[in-house]
Structure 1
Amino acid sequence: MKNNKLTVFLMAVFTVFASSCSDFLDTVSDNRTEVDNASKITSLLVSAYPNYSPFLLAELSSDNMMDNGIRFDDTQLQEDAYLWEEPTDASYDSPYALWESCYKAVASANQALRSIRELGDPASLNPQKGEALLCRAFAHFLLANIFCMPYNPLTAEQQLGVPYPMEPEEEVIVVHERGTLAQTYAWIEKDIEEGLPLVNDVIYSVPKYHFNKKAANAFAARFFLYYQKWDKVIEYADKVLGANPETMIRHWEEDFGALSQVDDVANQYISEKKAANLMLNASYSLWPIIVGPYDIYKRYGHGMDVYAVETIQSNGPWNWRGGLVMSNIIVSIQQKNPFPKIIDYFEYTDKTSGIGYDHMVSVVFSADETLLCRAEAYALQQNYAQALKDINTWIKYNSVISQDDGSDLTLTELRTFYRSLRYAPALITSRQQRSVKKTLNPEGFAVTAGTQENLIQLILQLRRLTGLQEGLRWYDLKRYGIEFSHNRDNDTPVVLTKDDPRRAIQLPQDVINAGMRPNPRNN
C-alpha cells in the first residue's frame, strides 16, 4: 500500500497543474499548464471529486458498529473513530486524507471556474461551470458533515463551519477562517442553485462518474433535507424519481436473488447500468477490506447484536425478521455481517513486491436514498399519505417476494408495531436493551408523538439499511440528536450524548498546527 502525503494545509491548485511533484516544488506557480479551452476544463473537472472517502470515519462513529472483542484485530484509526477520539493517522480513510482530498477537489473546481471567466464565461461552457459549482458544493458538504456539528437554524450562527475558498490559491500555504456553519450552508446552497440548472449530461462520456442531472438533483434533495427545507427536498427528489419511482429504485430480488458470488453481487450493486445508481465515485480506501467480506480487521464491526436486533434481521412492521433480500446475501463473518456492496480493487505498481494502491467504487447517490429523503420531507410536512406511499415503494422492492403478501403497510399497523417497542436507552450494556426505536432529539425542528414520530422512526430505519456500510447513519444520528453508546471489551461503554462536541470529528492535527481553529472538546 502506498500513501502519498502532503503536509501543507491548502496548496495552490496542486498536481493537476504540474508535470510532477518535484517540478512543482522547483518552479514558480506560473509555470503550469494553461486551462484555456473546453477540453482542458472538462478534463480538469475529473479531479474536482474527492478521491478519499468519509465512509470509515462516519460508519465507525455510528451505532451500526460494535466492539467484538480484543481477541480480534483492528487498526489504530478504527479504534480512534469507534471511540470518538482524535485520530492522528494520516493514511487512507483518515481525517487528514479526507480534508486534503476535498480541498484538492475544491482547488480544481475553482481553477475551472476562473478559466471559464477568463474565456468570457460563454454559454457553451455552462455545463462545465455547473459541474464545477456542484463539485465545490459537494466537497464542502462532505467536510461540514464530518468536521462540524449538525445544522440547526437556531445555533448555526454560533457553530464553526469549514473554510470555503472560492478562488484558486496563489500562495503555497494559506490559512482561511472557518466562518460559521450558517455561512457554510448558505454558500453550498448558492453553488447548488446556481450550478444545477447548467448541468448537461451530453458532455460526459461516462455520466455516472460525474454530476449528471439526476445525481445533481439527488445531491440537492439530500442537502436540503439536512438544511431543513422540506419543500425543496420534495422539489428536487421529484426531478430524480419522475412520475413512477418504481422504475428508478433498486429491485433487490431481480438484482441479487440469483447471485451467490461476492464479486458478482458487488459488481451488480455498483453497476453504472442500474437506474438506481445515480453517481459513482472511485477512491483510495482500505474500507472494503475493513468492512467487507474479508477475514481480517474484525474487532470493530457490524456484529451480531446489532445485525440481529437493530438492522438486517431485526423485526420490521411489514414482516417478521425484516424479510429483506439483503439478509439472504450476508457473508458469514459474524463480526462484520457484510452485504458485499463494497469490495477491494487493488492496483499493482510493483506486482513482484506486492506494492500498489487499494481502491473502491462506491454509490454516492442512489434513487433509493432519494426516495427516503422525500418520504422524510413528506412526514415532516405532515403529508402522511405521501410519506407512507414512498415507504411502501421501498418495502416492495427490498423484500423477498415469497415473504411479501402484496399488501401495503398501513398507519394502523405502523402504530401497533411501534407501540409494542420500548425505546433503546443511551447506555446499552446487553443485547436485550437494543431496539430499533430510538429517542429523537431533533436539531432545530420538532417531531410530534404519534403518527409523525412512527413514520420518522421507520424512515430512519430504512435509511439505516439503505446506507449500511456507507456512513449515512452517522449523519442521521447527528440530525436527530440520537444518544447511543459504543460497547468496549471488558470496560464500561462510552456514551455519545445529543450535545456532545465529539459529534464533530476533530480536524487533522496538521491543519490545526497550521493555524486552523480546532473543534471544541469537553474537558
Structure 2
Amino acid sequence: MKKIKLSIFLLAAVGFMTACNDFLNKYPDNRMELRTPSDVSKLVASAYPDAYPAYLLEMYSDNTDEQVNETWSSLDRFQEQAYGWADITETGVPDVPQKLWNASYSAISTANAAIEFIEKQSNQDAYQGQLGEAKICRAYAMFQLANVFCRAYNPNTAEKELGLPYPYAVENDPRATYQRGTLAQLYSNIEKDLTEGMELISNNNYAQPKYHFTPAAAHAFAARFYLYARQYEKAIAHADAVLGTDATPMLRDWEQWRKLGANDQVQPNDYIKSSKNTNLLLFTGMSMWGYVSRPVGIGSKYAHGKLLSSSETLESKGPWGEGGTVLNYMVTSGSNVSKVALGKIPLKLDQYDPQAKTGVPYAQFSVFNADETLLVRAEAKALLGRYEEAVADINTLLKVFIRSEAKSTEATRTLTLKGIQSFYNALRYYTPSQPTVKKQLHTDFTIEATTQEPLLQCILHLRRLVTIHEGLRMQDVKRYGMTIYRRRVSVENRIIEVTDSMKTDDPRQAIQLPQDVITAGLQANPR
C-alpha cells in the first residue's frame, strides 16, 4: 500500500494567517503516516471544527439586550462588537469569527487530505466509511460558515448572493487565489457532499459515535440543511429517518434534567451526555460561552435578561401556559446579575497551571439532537400546509416538555390547531417597547394569515425555547425576515431607549469576514 506522509500544523487558540494566499490551507497538529483505514479514521476524527458560534450568534440575535447598571460590564471588546453588530476586529479570544473561520477551514483541509489519500488507493472499498465521513464533515463545516458569514438562502436570489470558497483539495500553492462564488453554488456543493457522504457512512467505524457523523446525525444535518434550503419534503424525509414512527423515545427526558437542579456543572454535563438518545452529534470547542451564558457577573452588560425572559422566551406565555412554571426547565437567575438562563452549556478548562486554576476554556454543545429535529419536521410540514401533522409533532414534544406535576388549570398538554390559532391571532405584534412572542414575518413567499402564520409562530416560539443559548435563533431571524432591535434596559426591566435595528434587508445579517482574510484578497461582505 502506498504510504503518504502528512505534515500538519494546528492553529493555537485563535491563531493567525501566515500568508496572504494560504488562508484556506490549515491543518490539525500532528505528523501522521497514513497506511490503513484505521489511520484514515484517526485523521478524519480531526475534521470537525474545534469552534462553535453559539456565543457569537446569541450576542448577535434578539436573545440579548444591553443591561444598564454601573456594576455590569462587558467581558471584552468581542462581546461589545458582537452585540453591536459591528465588524469584529478582535482576534485574541476563543469565540471570534476568525477562530471559527480558521477552525472550519482547518477541518475542511483535514477532510480533503483524507479524501485525497483514499482516492489514490487501489482498495478504495476498504475506506468507504471514512470517505463518507470526510465528505459530510466538509459539508458541515461549510454549512456552519454559511450560516455565519452569508445571508439566509433564498432560491430566488441565491445566484446573486455571495457564497464562500469551497476547497476540494489540499492547497500547496502559495500563489493560489480564491473566489467566493455564489450562495447557490455553495448550497449545491454542500448538498453534493452531504448526499454522497450519507451513502457511505455507517455506525461501525466509531468508538465514540456521538462525536461523529453517524447515519442518525447525518440525517439530522440533512433535515436542517433542507429546511434552510426550502426543500421541505426532503427535510421531512430526513427527519423521519432520525425519529421513526414515534419520536418520543428519541426525545430528551426534560423532567429528569430539570430535577437535577442548578448546582455548578451538573445540569450542563447531563445535557451533553453521549448516553442521551436525543444527542445525535456533540462538539467540544474553545469557548467562554459555558461561563458567560450562566447567571454570573462576568459579561453581564450584554445578556439574556428578565425582560426578554418574561415577555419573549423562558418565562413567556404560550398556548401551553406560563413557560416558567409549566415547562420542563429550571430558569436560573441571581439578584445581583442581569442574566436569566438555563444550565445547558458546560464549561471545562484545559488546565496548564493547576495551582492558579488557569487554562484554555472549552465548552460542549449538542449540535444536533432529536428535539430540534422534531421541530424541523414540524416547521417543514407547516410550510407545506400539512397543519394537523405539524400540530401532532408539537404535541409529541409537549408530552416531555411539560412538567408532569403541572395542574390542568395551568398547562394545556395537547394543543389543537384551533387553540394555536386563537392564541397567536389574539396577540399583537412585537414592538421593542411593547414586546410579545409574536414577531412580524417578512418573507418573499406568501404565508397564509389565519392558519399557517399562527402555527409557524408557535413552532418558532418553541424553537426559541428548546434551542436557547445554542446559536440557532439568529438563523430563524434571517430566514423569516424578522426585524430585531438593540435596546438599553434598566435594572427595573424598563426600556430606556432603542439604539439600533436590523431589518430583513440589512447586510449586517451576514457577519463580516475576518479582516486578515479580506486583506488577503477575499471579497468582504457589503456594508
- After TM superposition, the score normalised by the length of structure 1 is 0.92
Residues 107-130 of structure 1: CA deviation (Å, up to 9, x unaligned) = 001111111101136222111111
Aligned equivalent of 1:57: 56
Q: Which amino acid aligns with 1:80?
A: Q
Q: Which amino acid aligns with 2:446?
A: A
1: CA distance, partners of 2:54 / 2:261 = 26
Aligned equivalent of 1:361: 364
Residues 485-516 of structure 1: CA deviation (Å, up to 9, x unaligned) = 11136654200011000000000100000000
Residues 235-294 of structure 1: CA deviation (Å, up to 9, x unaligned) = 000010011100001121133324342322111111111101111011001111211243
The alpha carbon displacement at 1:329 in A equals 4.2
1:265 pairs with one of 260, 264, 267: 267
User: 1:263–1:325: structure 2 CA closer, same or farther, 3 Å change rule?
Assistant: farther
2: CA distance, partners of 1:327 / 1:18 = 42
SS in 1 for 2:80: helix
SS in 1 for 2:282: strand
Deviates most, 224-233 or 120-129? 120-129
Aligned equivalent of 2:28: 16
Aligned equivalent of 1:30: none
Aligned equivalent of 1:488: 488
SS in 2 for 1:262: coil
The alpha carbon displacement at 1:100 in A equals 0.6
SS in 1 for 2:352: strand
Aligned equivalent of 1:3: 13
Q: Which amino acid aligns with 2:82?
A: A
Q: Which amino acid aligns with 1:16?
A: P
Is residue 316–residue 322 contact of structure 1 (8 Å, CA) maintained in 2?
Answer: no
SS in 2 for 1:363: strand
Aligned equivalent of 1:26: none
Deviates most, 481-490 or 247-256? 481-490
Residues 183-209 of structure 1: CA deviation (Å, up to 9, x unaligned) = 000000111110012111111000000
Deviates most, 63-72 or 322-331? 322-331
The alpha carbon displacement at 1:407 in A equals 4.5
2:209 is aligned with 1:207:
yes
Aligned equivalent of 2:423: 417
Is residue 506–residue 519 contact of structure 1 (8 Å, CA) maintained in 2?
Answer: yes
Aligned equivalent of 1:153: 155
Is residue 129–residue 195 contact of structure 1 (8 Å, CA) maintained in 2?
Answer: yes
Is residue 260–residue 267 contact of structure 2 (8 Å, CA) maintained in 1?
Answer: no
Q: Which amino acid aligns with 2:485?
A: S
2:516 is aligned with 1:510:
yes
- Gaps of at least 5 residues in structure 1 are 20-32
Is residue 11–residue 172 contact of structure 1 (8 Å, CA) maintained in 2?
Answer: no
2: CA distance, partners of 1:261 / 1:492 = 35
Query: Alignment length, in residue pairs?
Result: 501
The alpha carbon displacement at 1:106 in A equals 0.3
Deviates most, 60-69 or 368-377? 60-69
2: CA distance, partners of 1:481 / 1:469 = 21
Is residue 441–residue 482 contact of structure 2 (8 Å, CA) maintained in 1?
Answer: yes
SS in 2 for 1:401: coil
User: 1:212–1:158: structure 2 CA closer, same or farther, 3 Å change rule?
Assistant: same
2: CA distance, partners of 1:59 / 1:320 = 23
1: CA distance, partners of 2:376 / 2:165 = 27
2:455 is aligned with 1:455:
yes
2:47 is aligned with 1:48:
yes
SS in 2 for 1:202: helix
2: CA distance, partners of 1:492 / 1:254 = 40
Aligned equivalent of 1:348: 351
Aligned equivalent of 2:78: 77
| Matched-pair identity in % | 40
The alpha carbon displacement at 1:5 in A equals 1.4
SS in 2 for 1:279: strand
1:305 pairs with one of 299, 304, 307: 307
2: CA distance, partners of 1:407 / 1:497 = 35
1: CA distance, partners of 2:353 / 2:27 = 23
Q: Which amino acid aligns with 2:164?
A: V
SS in 2 for 1:488: strand
- Larger helix percent: 1
Deviates most, 415-424 or 172-181? 172-181
The alpha carbon displacement at 1:37 in A equals 2.1
User: 1:17–1:337: structure 2 CA closer, same or farther, 3 Å change rule?
Assistant: closer
Show the 5 A alignment for 1:74-223: 74=74, 75-90=76-91, 91-120=93-122, 122-172=124-174, 174-223=176-225
Residues 344-399 of structure 1: CA deviation (Å, up to 9, x unaligned) = 10111122454421001110001000000000000011001110000011122111
User: 1:228–1:261: structure 2 CA closer, same or farther, 3 Å change rule?
Assistant: same
The alpha carbon displacement at 1:297 in A equals 1.0
The alpha carbon displacement at 1:408 in A equals 1.4
Q: Alignment RMSD, CA only? A: 1.8
